[in-house]
Chain A
Amino acid sequence: MSTSTVRRLDTGTADGPTSRTAGLMSGLRSMPLFRQVVPMEALVGWPIPARHNPGWDGRTAVYLKFPLYGYHRPARRGEPTRLLPPFAMLTLNWANGAPVEFVDFRYSRPWPITATPPVIGEFPHAAVRELSGGDYLAARVRLAELYDGLFESLGDGSGFDGEAELADLLGRLLEPCLAPYYRMIAPRFAERFLGAEQE
């Protein structure tokens, strides 16, 4: 296959990312920091926004926190992939994409950490299991575009009219087994975009 026909992860096109969020997500793996501290067999979760207002220089600063989690490859193609809990989180500055923090959860221990990470769920989960690869990719592309709107609104204080769509898509695309971790990392964000925790 010619490289010109390769459809890159999270972009949906061969020409590059269709959103800044997608570009930052796909660019994470190219970072020397990422390559130094993150195993290749790691997945990048949907970002959690953080805003400092005012930031360190008096201006508003917006950041993206990316939970990183592991998985077990299926023994056979077509079998579900077993997912492991987040093991770290990398935070980028929205303005310039620079990494500003790496947290290894084995060190910070925001929840109990075990020597052998437990399997917490699988991919594909029920909400996406019936989608085609193309539809799933399109949904990912769209969610990344919505994240752009959220980050922009956080930065300039403008309104964000995509909240309902973002919540709907994130609720479907985020693996349910990761939701409890998102709730622990960012309870207010999770409650707003993932809804109240189910009893």
Chain B
Amino acid sequence: MSDDYDDLQLDDQPDDQLDEVNVDDDLDDELRYDAAEDDGALRDVDDEADADRTAALQDVHFGTSWTVDGTSEAGNPVEWSTTTNAYHDEKTGEQVEPK
């Protein structure tokens, strides 16, 4: 199989990775989150500018939503979600087409 792949990447998950033999009951320490190694993890957010910037980054990364014109079939406000790229009923969360 290796001849079929070049060196740009090609890491097709080998079969043995799907094998239970590969499962280690002991968690790898490298995969644990150590707050002590991350001075920002538990910091207090007392700087408004920092908080605004963090929120702006999160809006881009996780998505956000805005209330838009129109209502749902149920008459509720409608929001546009950048996470789902769709309109949702603000009260029920259901995907809708605003009227």
- A→B interface (CB under 8 Å): 1-3, 6-9, 26-27, 29-30, 40, 43, 48-54, 71, 74, 76-81, 85, 103, 108-112, 114, 118-124, 126, 128-133, 136-137, 140, 150, 153-154, 160, 177, 180-181, 185-190, 192
- B→A interface (CB under 8 Å): 4-13, 17-18, 20, 22-28, 30-33, 38, 40-41, 43, 45, 48, 50-63, 66-69, 80, 82-86
Q: Are B54 and A50 in contact (CB under 8 A)?
A: no
Q: Are B62 and A192 in contact (CB under 8 A)?
A: no
Docked pose: A108 CA to B14 CA in angstroms: 12
Q: Are A53 and B54 in contact (CB under 8 A)?
A: no
Q: Are A136 and B61 in contact (CB under 8 A)?
A: yes
Q: Are B33 and A187 in contact (CB under 8 A)?
A: no
Q: 4 extra interchain contacts, Cβ-Cβ under 8 A, other than A6-B68, A43-B62, A137-B60?
A: A26-B85, A40-B84, A78-B54, A129-B57
Docked pose: A7 CA to B31 CA in angstroms: 34
Docked pose: A51 CA to B5 CA in angstroms: 7
Q: Are B60 and A114 in contact (CB under 8 A)?
A: no
Contact residues in A for B38 (Cβ distance below 8 Å): 121-122
- Distance (whole angstroms) from the CB of B19 to the closest CB of chain A: 9
Look across to chain A and name the residue whose beta carbon is closest to the beta carbon of B57: A124
Docked pose: A62 CA to B60 CA in angstroms: 28
Look across to chain A and name the residue whose beta carbon is closest to the beta carbon of B84: A29
Look across to chain A and name the residue whose beta carbon is closest to the beta carbon of B3: A53
Docked pose: A9 CA to B62 CA in angstroms: 8
Q: Given A50-B10, A110-B17, are A119 and B86 neighbors across the interface (CB < 8 Å)?
A: no
Docked pose: A103 CA to B69 CA in angstroms: 39
Contact residues in A for B69 (Cβ distance below 8 Å): 2-3
Q: Are B22 and A109 in contact (CB under 8 A)?
A: yes
Q: Are B85 and A112 in contact (CB under 8 A)?
A: no
Q: Given A3-B80, A50-B11, are A76 and B45 neighbors across the interface (CB < 8 Å)?
A: yes
